[in-house]
Every structure is written in structure tokens, then in C-alpha cells.
Amino acid sequence: MSTRGSTPPQESRAPGAADLAVGVDVGGTRIKTVLVQRGSVIARDVQPTPEGLASRFGDVVVGCVERLISVAEGEGVADATPSGVGVVVPGLVDERAGVGEWSANLGWRDLDLLGAVRGRVPGRVAVGHDVRAGLLGEHLLGAARGVDDVLFVPLGTGIAVALMTGGRVVRGSSWSGELGHVVVDPSGPRCGCGRTGCLEALTGAGAVGRRWREAGREGDARTVAEAVAAGDAVAQRIWSDAIDVLSGALAPVVASAGTRRVVVGGGMAEAGALLLDPLRTALRLRGPDDALEVVRAELGDWAGAIGAAHLPGTA
């Protein structure tokens, strides 16, 4: 990975009074778009992610923006032309250069995202990372409102996190937030990245489901959560092991950054108190802050698109 110059932190700020901004969240299966005005979402749209996106990224994103504008105008917005468009993607992203360095899901390497879109949509264009944008969205309109020291943890099959300190989203190198691929147990199971014992190989939704099936059961992480609630001892052990490993990985981050609130999103957050209560207890026991808040994300799948609309440079 090449070394790049330091980049300014993202600032959390709403558009100006009359500004309209579009956020585009390009995911592995869906592309979500929102039109935001003065901190409120006034239109939204979802499209399936087409095959071969990498070879026609610009055309697809421009099409999604145009469709959203027509949706908004169809819903009564007199002129939905935005002053800027923020586009966020998963994987490793060089936000300043606007380059998607790598995405396993979307199959690109060093793709010029900014160049593919700039000049083809109204206003300025900014490129960002989906999880960091999700934190920005949760800070502006969701579960991180009013708190400036936040750790955002979307828990799905993969685990990438985003950190806010003093109201600013931390952006280091393009590896920032890739906590899922930190090796926490070198003798642990093999990870999709090729190493063994990564955090997400031990505690992600895929890992929880895999352990369940290794115990001779059927189903996935959702099934395990249901079994935990029903008092199944095997499920409870798998669940508590996963939370133990997760809290062990998050506690040093929380302690280093002075985090006051952990916002948990992603598919596993659907388990609600079943996940949040023991995770809160574990983090308070392991870390210095016995009042640390652990809450569920509020914006669901829309956090990334809402944050994208508020990236610096879109308004």
C-alpha cells in the first residue's frame, strides 16, 4: 500500500439553509440514494447494484442521481437540482484522491470514482467510505446525535468500524477502521482475507453461524440469536464467546479514543438487547468508563447515504 499525505478530518456539518445535496451509497447488492435539505431527507430511492459495476461506475451513479432527482420532483420538490453529490463505497478508499483502492465485493482495484462522476452530475462531487459516512449520518440524524466521541460498529459478516473524536470522523490511511482483519487469535479459524484468527472470523455474523453449524445445528446468526433468547445452552455459549472476543477488541479502541458512546449497527444489531446488554456490560468491565453508552444505530441501511450527502464538498 502506498503512503499518502495526511488528509483533513471530515467535519460533521449540515448543508446551508437553501442547499440540497445528494448522497449515494454504493453497496454490494443495492445502491441507495437520498436527497437531503437542511438536515432532513426529502427523497430517497433504491436500485439493485448491476453486474459489472466497476466497468461502468460513472454511468450507473449518474443514472441513480438522475432517477432520484426525478423521484423528488415527482413528489413535489420544485427544483431538486443538488449543489453537490457525495458517493460512498465499501472497501479501501482514498477519500482525498477519490479512488476506490480495493473492494472485494464490487471487484475493483484503484478505480477512479471521482473522475467517473465529476462533471456528469450537478454541483460538486465528494467520495467517501461507507462506514465513515454511516457514522456521520448517525451523528447528524441518528443514534450518535449530541455526542462527539463515538465508535460506530456495523456488525455483519464483515466488521469495519468508524471513530469520531471531538465531532470529527477520524480518517487516516485507507486502512482506517479495518478492525475486522486484526488478528485476535493466531490459532483461530481461517479468515476470508487469507489470515487466521481475524476478529471477523471469530465474532462476525458469518462466524457465529459457522460455529452453530459446526455444533450440528442448522441456520445462521439470526437463528443463533433466537436460540439464545429461547435459552439454548449451545447458542448462549457461542453468543457469549463472540461478545467476549468483540469486547476485547473494542475496549482498547474505546479507551484510546475516549469514546463515550458505541453505536452498533448492521444485521447483528437486530438482536437488540440480546447483543447490546452483554456487550455494554463487557465493555464497562474491560474499559475505564463505567458509564459508557452502547446503543443501537437508528438509521439502518440509510446511514451511509445520509452521511454521503453531508461529506465535506457536497454542500
In the complex, the residues that contact Zn ion under the rule CB under 5 A are: 181, 191, 193, 198
Long-range contact set of residues 34-37: C-beta below 8 Å, sequence gap at least 24: 34/68, 34/302, 34/305, 34/306, 34/308, 34/309, 35/68, 35/69, 35/72, 35/77, 35/80, 35/82, 35/309, 36/306, 36/309, 36/310
Q: How far is the CB of 178 from Zn ion (least distance, A)?
A: 9
Q: Which is nearer to Zn ion, 136 or 160 (CB)?
A: 160
In eight-state DSSP terms, residue 83 is S
Residue 42 half-sphere exposure, CB side, CA atoms within 13 Å?
22
Q: How far is the CB of 192 from Zn ion (least distance, A)?
A: 6
Q: How far is the CB of 154 from Zn ion (least distance, A)?
A: 16
Q: Which is nearer to Zn ion, 100 or 204 (CB)?
A: 204
Alpha helices in the chain (DSSP H): 57-74, 113-117, 130-141, 199-203, 205-214, 221-229, 233-257, 273-286, 303-309
Name which of 65, 66, 63, 57 is nearest 24 in CA terms. Answer: 65
Q: How far is the CB of 156 from Zn ion (least distance, A)?
A: 14
Q: How far is the CB of 139 from Zn ion (least distance, A)?
A: 28
Instruction: Count Cβ atoms within 10 A of the Cβ of residue 146 and give its class: 0-12 exposed, 13-18 middle, 19 or more buried.
Output: exposed
The Cβ of residue 291 has, within 10 Å, a number of other Cβ atoms equal to 6
Q: How far is the CB of 47 from Zn ion (least distance, A)?
A: 30
Amino acid identity at 78: A
In the three-class reduction of DSSP (H, G, I as helix; E, B as strand; rest coil), residue 121 is classed as coil
Residue with cell 420532483: 73
User: Could you tell me how far CA 299 lies from the centroid of its own chain?
Assistant: 11
Q: Which is nearer to Zn ion, 140 or 198 (CB)?
A: 198
Q: Which is nearer to Zn ion, 157 or 314 (CB)?
A: 157
Q: How far is the CB of 161 from Zn ion (least distance, A)?
A: 14
Q: Which is nearer to Zn ion, 186 or 231 (CB)?
A: 186
Name which of 279, 274, 270 is nearest 297 in CA terms. Answer: 270
Q: Which is nearer to Zn ion, 45 or 178 (CB)?
A: 178
Residue with cell 455444533: 215
Q: Which is nearer to Zn ion, 116 or 191 (CB)?
A: 191
